[in-house]
Amino acid sequence: MNLPGRHLLLLTLGLLLLTGCGAARQTRIHHSQLLSFGTLVDISLWDASPEQIENAERIIHDELHAMHHDWHAWQPGPLTETNQQLRGGEWFVCPPAILPLIVQAKQLYQRSGGLFNPAIGQLVALWGFHSDTLPKGPPPPKEAIASLVARKPGMDAIVIDGQRIRSTNPAVQLDFGAFAKGYAVDRIIEKLIANGIGNAIINAGGDLRAIGRHGDRPWRIGIRNPRGPGVLAGIELSGDESVFTSGDYERFFRYRGKRYHHIIDPRTGYPARGVTSVTVIHDNAATADAAATALFVAGPEEWHPIARRMGIKYVMVVDDKGRIHMNPAMARRIQFESEQKPEVVLSKPL
């Protein structure tokens, strides 16, 4: 072979290697979106067959249907029937779609010191958040709020005996808004694994659980800036981890210049103050979902002991002054995107 021919061969081989890798990388990732029952689910699957992709979309649709129908806090269904029975205080057979949620929610209520409290459905309704459209204000009368808070609705008032339950407090009305999505994501992931899917992200409206990896690298997650466009930070996930965020920007109304959001502090009956968003990483999505709410309610001063009680190892709290509070293990995982890094307050290790 003459010299130029040999050189050309070398270069061609090099280029072929590059294009080969590129082609392989593009075909093994599947991205799709499913808009189902008011939730936008972003699906990422690595190395899944067409049959597995079809199964995954069906599983997600079915679980969202269950979440929407069985656990809806104000549209007639198993949860509204349960709430009606709880008001009476008598023993009744709990619908099978509701009982496991109550069991898990009771444990999380205890571990959060009552800050994750799905028994305050009446307070959430009083604020006008039990509606498909957002309330316009004014906020409810303070006497009505105080009277409901004084009746101390809590998950400890629900007594379970096999399939039967009763409430010892008629003020208890369940609202699984801070928990149902995490619970549904856990069920979706369990079913995906049973279908042979080992590498996936299920992102349900900004909260997700990721299993496995994106080929030879971890999954990469962008955290949107809660108070503006762009990405605040990036984080890598591998193995099996859930990332859940509670933010005051998700559902809110303004009245006379003041912002009232949907995360109600069960101790005061008012929207929790001092925090813009809380992001939690945990292996279980339902726990991460409940913890994000509990730590939001706890606020920038009290989140640390509650996180420790709940067994949470990674927390990021953005307070209402834009400062970021994190435990050291979380700080090691967060890569800030913007050139102007926000003020970070490091806590003690969790």
Minimum CB distance to another protein, residue 178 (Å): 16
Minimum CB distance to another protein, residue 238 (Å): 11
Among 30, 224, 323, 333, binds another protein (CB under 8 A): 224
Q: What is the DSSP secondary structure assignment for residue 77, as one 8-state letter?
A: S
Minimum CB distance to another protein, residue 172 (Å): 29
Give the count of beta carbons closer than 10 Å to the beta carbon of residue 1: 8
Report how far Cα 52 is from the mean position of its chain's Cα atoms. Answer: 25
Contact (Cβ atoms closer than 8 angstroms) between residue 176 and residue 286: no
Among 12, 23, 24, 33, binds another protein (CB under 8 A): 33
Give the count of beta carbons closer than 10 Å to the beta carbon of residue 263: 24
Residues with Cβ within 8 Å of residue 223, at least 6 apart in sequence: 231, 232, 233, 234, 235, 245, 279, 334
137 binds another protein (CB under 8 A): no
150 binds another protein (CB under 8 A): no
**Of residues 221 and 312, the one with the C-beta less far from another protein:** 221
Contact (Cβ atoms closer than 8 angstroms) between residue 182 and residue 190: no
* Contact window for another protein (CB under 8 A) among 5-13, 140-148, 167-175, 268-276: 5-13
Among 2, 5, 18, 162, binds another protein (CB under 8 A): 18
CA–CA gap between residue 246 and residue 299 (Å, rounded) = 12
Contact (Cβ atoms closer than 8 angstroms) between residue 304 and residue 325: no
* Contact window for another protein (CB under 8 A) among 143-151, 186-194, 212-220, 303-311: 212-220
207 binds another protein (CB under 8 A): yes
CA–CA gap between residue 45 and residue 54 (Å, rounded) = 11
CA–CA gap between residue 235 and residue 341 (Å, rounded) = 15
Q: How many residues does the chain have?
A: 350
Among 231, 344, 345, 346, binds another protein (CB under 8 A): 231
DSSP result, 221-238 = EEEE-TTSSSEEEEEEE-
Judged by CB under 8 A, the chain residues 252 through 291 that form the site for another protein are 252, 279
**Of residues 173 and 199, the one with the C-beta less far from another protein:** 199
203 binds another protein (CB under 8 A): yes
24 binds another protein (CB under 8 A): no
Residue from 25, 36, 86 nearest 59 by CA: 36
Binding site for another protein (CB under 8 A): 3, 6-7, 10-11, 14-15, 18, 22, 29, 31, 33-36, 38-40, 42, 44, 132-134, 201, 203, 205-208, 214, 219-224, 226, 228-231, 234, 243, 245, 247, 249, 251-252, 279
